[in-house]
Chains A and B, each alone.
Chain A
């Protein structure tokens, strides 16, 4: 059997540089703050985007002023709480191009990858100020802070995550493989 992961490795292309203005949020921002529970019944993604970050202290300001390409910067444990994918879809739909956090909660992190919203961890996120102009190089794992004239490192994004994001999310990734659903085929190459 041909290991599909090997083919994927050859065709992977890292996303281009991402440049945008930073929106700063704090520690332990949970998914109820990112996307309040009262909007859970919504199924339309553009409707979800109208409620991104609505439960945070600066939700109204964010929704009024966020611009396409802006970058969301947060402290530790961003996206903790419920499994709602609405959270990732809403901030992506509102225009956020990448999420940088000191640490990312597991389910939220997966939801970002699966919906093709790049999300990176960086201990240096603490040094970013609200409104700083940032340029993110995912492949190199670097945040260039143009406003402050400094470069921060990010945790490397695993190759699998980069592949999924570069083709537009998990469902498109699986379709691109053409041989999905092979149960019992085990792990096709343990990868870091």
Chain B
């Protein structure tokens, strides 16, 4: 058998034969997930095609509510009702409005392990590569089909290895590293490819930092980004998954399409300017730009560690008086940890609004969208034109840049606070 990358190993196991890049294959799915916005259309397609037939395996299907929660209008309420009814009839697990961002809920609840193939109605499902699992965002028809059959077709991507060397400076984070990578590779730089992040820096990253890296492979149009799980990541997973888990890694030897190296020594904080995630500049180049609102959270930067980075800067200070700071923990588990650690006191005393765990300011569906002409600094992953309000401008940045900006009301290098 030839040398294989992580995605080739996973697809070979799930399809029952050795695969290579370019192959079109059918594979068995380990988990099929849907959310509150795509879900109603999935259920509609499912019922149109399969009536009341049972799903392939109720234990391998999950519904997460993470976008429009709690329901903000009657249409959303009807959609959520439809999903609750479907879950109840089919015996499917539903994580309701008191949970948080879908992929995070899935791995916190032991539904994700290295080597799994997981599909869901969320283009950032691929952040599960941070746990060594193959997560794929898909549309409603794919999810309806997968929920019935337990299998779907895939084209095996080639793999690009990203080697990251050097050490991160103070206030410089995994967000800055991935923005650096996106700047170099471009918004289609990983199209039809899997990435594997490796190197001494990557080995030392926490799960939260790994998630930040892997989640934004989507912004390069990549299929998925993997990181070989560390001992700490494996322990996090094993503590939640019944049964003994294994790890996953690429074979040694040359099987990557190419290798791209990055050295982060001397790297400072970066921001992605409107209206593209690859329009990346050093924070100093846009420092001083007036900002109306800051959002800290999302599937990319909503873990406890992200909130701690922000709290360190906000502690004992007040946000600028015309600034609106919105902080949203990724999940209820993160929120409870943040509460215990005293972060809520720091945030509320600073003048922030802390809302319930959700995807929050990822789309116009969530409270907090912008008026025309307004500017936001966001720790999320996309700043497409119009995505958070027509005529608004969004800068993507790390939690440290976001928190520093909240204090001054203009884009600020966190290294220059105090």
Contacts and interface: CB of A to CB of B under 8 A. Distances in A.
A33 B363 contact: no
B141 A169 contact: yes
B147 to A, nearest CB: 10
Contacts of A84: 37-38, 139
Given A80-B187, A170-B141, A190-B25, A180 B386 contact: no
A190 B24 contact: yes
A83 B191 contact: no
A90 to B, nearest CB: 12
Interface string B63-75: 0000110000101
Interface in A154-192: 158, 160, 169-172, 174-175, 180-188, 190-192
Contacts of A32: 363, 384-387
Contact of B141 (A38, A106, A114): A114
B150 A187 contact: no
Contact of A111 (B122, B139, B384): B139
B40 interface: yes
B321 interface: no
A40 interface: yes
A122 interface: no
Chain A residues touching B, majority SS: loop
A88 interface: yes
B19 interface: yes
Determine the interface band of chain A, counting residues with CB < 8 A from chain B.
35 or more
B275 to A, nearest CB: 9
B149 A180 contact: yes
A81 interface: yes
A30 B387 CA distance: 10
A169 B15 CA distance: 22
Given A181-B56, A187-B16, A80 B188 contact: yes
Given A84-B139, A171-B144, A37 B41 contact: no
B387 A37 contact: yes
A175 B148 CA distance: 11
Contacts of B309: none
Max chain A C-beta neighbours (<10 A), residue from B73, B138, B188: B188
A186 B15 contact: yes
Contacts of B223: 106
A105 interface: yes
A85 B75 contact: no
A114 B142 contact: yes
Given A107-B123, A110-B138, A192-B23, A187 B15 contact: yes
Interface string A56-91: 000000000000000000001100111111101000
Contacts of A124: none
Interface in B143-193: 144-145, 148-151, 153, 155, 187-188, 191-192
A149 interface: no
A160 B153 CA distance: 9
A175 B132 CA distance: 33
B145 A80 contact: no
Interface of A: 28, 30, 32-33, 36-38, 40-43, 55, 76-77, 80-86, 88, 103, 105-107, 110-111, 114-115, 158, 160, 169-172, 174-175, 180-188, 190-192
9 contacts: A40-B67, A43-B41, A55-B385, A77-B191, A105-B221, A111-B142, A175-B49, A186-B26, A191-B24
Instruction: Please name the 9 residue pairs, one residue from A and one from B, whose CB atoms are nearest each other, closest first.
Output: A186-B16, A85-B139, A37-B363, A187-B15, A111-B139, A114-B141, A77-B188, A83-B137, A171-B49
Given A55-B386, A106-B223, A171-B144, 20 more contacts: A28-B276, A30-B384, A33-B384, A36-B364, A40-B363, A41-B37, A43-B44, A76-B188, A80-B188, A106-B191, A107-B137, A114-B145, A170-B141, A170-B145, A171-B49, A174-B145, A181-B150, A183-B150, A186-B28, A187-B17
